[in-house]
Amino acid sequence: MRSFHLPRHAIISAPFTPMDENGDIAPDSVPRMVDFLVANGVKGAFICGSTGEGPSLTLSERKALFSAWGKASPTDFSTIAMTGGSCLPDAKELAHDAQDAGIQAIAIVPPGYFPVGSLESLVGYCQEIAATVPDMPVFYYHIPVLTGVSFSMFAFLQLAETRIPNLIGIKYSHSNLMDFQQCTRFRDGKYIMLWGRDEELLAALSMGADGAVGSTYNYHMPVYQKVLQAFEKGDIHGARFYQEKAIAAIALLHQYGGLSAGKAMMQMIGMDCGPVRSPLSAITPQARELLYEGLVAIGFFDECNAV
């Protein structure tokens, strides 16, 4: 199986998909994004996920992005491509394409339209996709707020471990820390557990997270590096202090538009990723101005990623 290795407490970006002013993808911008993330201490990229608007992209667009990230990423930069979704044949095709593009791992997101009726059917769905690329490391992407699929991941691992031999971990974007810790300890830490809620990074580290994947690592890595440094030194007060700085920026992100506000923040720091795609709404000029003023007030531009 293709190797997949992450340093301890690795931070992986969920990159925004670069788009031009017309809303078309701009894969030629990916090499600059890779250089930018590497320079700021990010250890990998979770491509075409929620932040990357993957479900709003066509198959050909996602394939073009997989190719761009595969070509631009250095060998020690871990790439994970999101597959899965509501169309099983498309998910299989994307898995093959990610493998051919040199992406290091795939992540399977469950169907979000027709309900997944049981844990058995969920594992069966993931098994079918994973079996098409048996040499490819596979993560399961647990994000109930978007998919509506909220089974225990501890129970998922117990059922999937013998049926999906190339399953190596979970991207866990949910608030159930008890379930998360059970997963971190399952089979003596066999599976890579990546935390997906940036505002709770410190809590996840205390529960045994191997690393994290998130959107705010695109522009606020200096603060998260200080969270990690303080945590690893046992300085819980320092870690809380810097986690609160991250939370202050995340609160503004939520207040002024989520993904569209995140793309505006990228533009503010000099890494323009273009607009969001419908059905997401563009940030208004007034909201953008208020967002900027809020970021200045919390000192964001003194501790943001450097271009």
Which helix (H) or strand (E) covers residue 171, if one does? strand 167-172
| Interatomic CA distance for residues 262 and 51, integer angstroms | 9
User: At 264, which helix (H) or strand (E)?
Assistant: helix 259-268
Q: Are 143 and 173 in contact (CB under 8 A)?
A: yes
Tokens 């070509």 found at: 71
Beta pairing partners, 195: 172, 212
- Given 141, 172, 191, 224, the catalytic residue: 141
Cα-Cα-Cα-Cα torsion 217, 218, 221, 223, nearest 10 degrees, comes to: -70
- Concerning whether 141 is annotated as a catalytic residue, the answer is yes
* Other C-beta atoms lying within 10 Å of the C-beta of residue 189: 12
Return the DSSP state at 218.
G
What DSSP string runs through 75-119? TTSEEEEEEESS-HHHHHHHHHHHHHTT-SEEEEEPPSSS----H
The one-character DSSP state at 291 is: H
- Collect all residues with Cβ–Cβ distance below 8 Å to 213 and sequence separation of at least 6: 12, 13, 14, 46, 49, 80, 171, 194, 195, 196
Catalytic residue among 43, 171, 226, 263: 171
Catalytic residues: 141, 171
